[in-house]
Amino acid sequence: MNDPGPPSEELSGGTWRAGWILSPRQDAVWFLALPVIGVAVAMGCHLWLPFVALAAVNLWVTIPHHCATWLRTYGCSEDWQRWKMQLLLGPIVLGGVVVLGHKVVPTTLLLMVTLWDHQHSVMQQHGFARIYDFKAGTGSRQTGRFDLLVNWTLYVHMVLTAPLFVQYWVRELFTWHVPITVEDIQSLQAVSWTVAGVVVGSYVVHLRNCLVRGEGVNPIKLLFLVSSFGMWYVTAWHTDSILVFGVAHRLMHGLQYIVIVRVFLHRKATDGGRDSSASPGLRLGGGGLGRFIAVHLLYAVVFQLLVGQPRPLLAMSFGVWEFNTVYEAIPELGIGRFTQETMYALFVVAMIDVVALVHYYFDSFIWKVNDRRVQEGL
């Protein structure tokens, strides 16, 4: 990047070089320890909170980070000038897609939003990994591609093999009348394990070559990847609740996003006075952390008042998410009908994800790490 940040810390003869997104102390909290904290919080919520409270926690750790996107896009005069048409037309078009999808193909819409959510999450982790290499001045021209390949491989492998996710995509295949047997699932998972092993092995070889050639490896980036995927894998393999997984995932994803947005806005607002005419969003980014968090919490309150009023599930969803009318039991695979709790969990996740569509869309073009103007803020 053009502004790689503070000089890298040299380790082991200059081949291991540690670079930080923020600082050693802040990275230790927000990028290394936060995934572990997310697992502990999610499991604690699962043990000690009632089901409806668990859904509320999901909302409260998710919605505030959407507000960070609105501050970044509509509050940054530079972004407004660059992306005016996308910022104006995007929400209108996506709103129409959501309304039509609810009426015609609700389950397909839910699947599309879920897949976009996964893509969005993987790309955020990949972006942080690239920042770590830029800050440390490590890696080769191929490292970015290897990072992306590893991120996607490990995430897809989790979806294909973790019991939490298997029940959902198997149900979807049966809904589409795709013939699939237990043996087919086991074969697919065996292939997934093999591919994951080959990709991770290739990545290790690539890192070794970077060390041999003196291009360096940032150990903090590797710790970050291990911590992130450790959170995902532990919750996906050790819980049967999509809400518990959501609490851990969204706590990590949302807080990391809010932190990076605040840092970006602060640096843009204080970068040599070039943004002296900064909009309120940028000035807020340069303010105190308490004020920044308060704005996000207020946004979450308004959102919950609009969509989270206590009503029966079918009344809230206008009959759209009566999943058991779509998903029948699959006795031959040992999969029963959805319980009321599972249906409610799916509905809560859908409500959050539908609102997130615009967030995903904006992030697809405002956070390009190879964009010179984005680099200046990071």
What are the pLDDT digits (tens) for 41-80?
888 877 776 666 666 666 677 777 778 888 788 777 777 7
Alpha-carbon distance of 191 to 353, in angstroms, equals 30
Q: How confident is the model at residue 28 (pLDDT cuts 50, 70, 90)?
A: very high
Ranges 160-164, 274-278, 301-305, 309-313, most confident: 160-164
Q: What is the pLDDT of residue 320?
A: 47
Which of 3-7, 141-145, 170-174 shows the lowest per-residue confidence on average (mean pLDDT)?
3-7
Alpha helices in the chain (DSSP H): 24-27, 34-48, 51-60, 63-74, 77-82, 84-104, 106-136, 143-161, 163-175, 182-212, 219-238, 242-269, 280-285, 289-307, 313-316, 340-366, 372-377
**Residue ranges of the domains in the chain?**
9-377
Which of 130-134, 223-227, 244-248, 291-295 shows the lowest per-residue confidence on average (mean pLDDT)?
291-295
At 315-330, the pLDDT tens digits run 444 444 455 555 666 7
Which of 2-16, 30-44, 239-253, 358-372 shows the lowest per-residue confidence on average (mean pLDDT)?
2-16
Phi, psi of 330 (to 5 degrees): -125, 80
Q: Is the pLDDT of residue 275 over 60?
A: no
At 203-257, the pLDDT tens digits run 999 999 999 999 999 999 999 999 999 999 999 998 888 778 888 888 898 888 8
* Between residues 155 and 332, the one the model is more confident about: 155
* Between residues 113 and 195, the one the model is more confident about: 195
* Other beta carbons less than 10 A from residue 214's beta carbon: 9
Q: Is the pLDDT of residue 347 over 70?
A: no
* Contact yes or no for 279/77 (Cβ under 8 A): yes
Alpha-carbon distance of 85 to 177, in angstroms, equals 41
Q: Which of 31, 23, 42, 3 is nearest to 124 (CA)?
A: 31
